[in-house]
């Protein structure tokens, strides 16, 4: 199974008011293993960030001015995520922004390219009702080092979320192991039943005599209760 842990940073909170994505990152999992195949782009939103958003991510207009527009990286991004299951913390937020960017380019919503979306915020609320379930709180709960998270950053947050997701769903690893070991098990069975010859090493006369003496000694000590001799006689 291929999964992409996704995160975005934006100029504000409302895509319908013209706010845009300024950072986009994905971390790939294949069969619950990090592959190192990351996607990460800073983007020129062609507008200013709100003051509150700027405090969160720290990405200034000056820094973003020479970065590509979303339209310039959209094909690369869709090639990266297509066919994968998306894993997003508070997925409604990121999906809304992605769909807004795609709509501006007359492209289909992101869920048309990806079969499903897992919202780790919803998953965390179901698992830990009544507790804080932000990314920092989950890192603390699952003992994941988030000390480098001075400000929000899409790539770092995606990497942390990948570790959180694996910790939250650790019981699923056995299912993956069963699938992966199926071919190996078949190969082993074929080798045992089709190619290998069992070698039987029979006891020598001296070993048989020593064994019989040992059973006799046990029988005497136990008052005739040596089970092995009873089975032999039977």
pLDDT one-digit tens code per residue, 201-234: 777 887 778 777 777 777 776 677 776 666 666 6
Other C-beta atoms lying within 10 Å of the C-beta of residue 92: 12
Q: Please pick, among 19, 128, 152, 193, the residue that the annotation labels catalytic.
A: 152
Q: At 179, is the pLDDT very low, low, confident or very high (cuts 50, 70, 90)? A: very low
Taking only the tens place, the pLDDT of each residue in 180-189 is: 455 455 554 4
> Which structure tokens are listed for 157?
């947050």
Q: Distance between CA atoms of 234 and 223, rounded to whole angstroms? A: 18
pTM of the entire predicted model = 0.73
Domain with CATH 3.30.420.10 in the chain: 2-177
d(CA 87, CA 123): 11
Q: State the CATH architecture for 2-177.
A: 2-Layer Sandwich (3.30)
211 is catalytic: no
């Amino acid at each position: 199974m291929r999964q992409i842990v996704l995160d975005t940073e934006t100029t504000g909170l409302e895509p319908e008011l013209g706010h845009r994505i300024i950072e986009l990152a994905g971390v790939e999992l294949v069969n619950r293993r990090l592959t190192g195949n990351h996607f990460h782009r800073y983007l020129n939103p062609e507008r200013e960030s709100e003051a509150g958003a700027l405090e969160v991510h720290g990405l200034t207009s000056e820094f973003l001015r020479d970065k590509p527009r979303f339209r310039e990286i959209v094909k690369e991004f869709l090639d990266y995520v297509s066919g994968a299951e998306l894993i997003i913390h508070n997925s409604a937020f990121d999906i809304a922004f992605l769909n807004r960017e795609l709509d501006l380019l007359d492209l289909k919503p992101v869920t048309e390219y990806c079969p499903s979306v897992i919202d780790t915020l919803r998953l965390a609320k179901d698992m830990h009702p009544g507790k804080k379930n932000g990314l920092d709180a989950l890192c603390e709960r699952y003992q994941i080092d988030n000390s480098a998270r001075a400000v929000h950053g899409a790539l770092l947050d995606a990497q942390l979320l990948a570790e959180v997701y694996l910790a939250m769903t650790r019981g699923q690893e056995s299912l993956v192991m069963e699938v992966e070991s199926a071919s190996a098990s078949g190969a082993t069975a074929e080798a045992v039943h089709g190619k290998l010859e069992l070698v039987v090493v029979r006891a020598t006369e001296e070993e048989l005599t020593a064994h019989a003496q040992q059973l006799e000694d046990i029988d005497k000590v136990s008052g005739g209760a040596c089970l092995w001799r009873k089975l032999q006689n039977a």
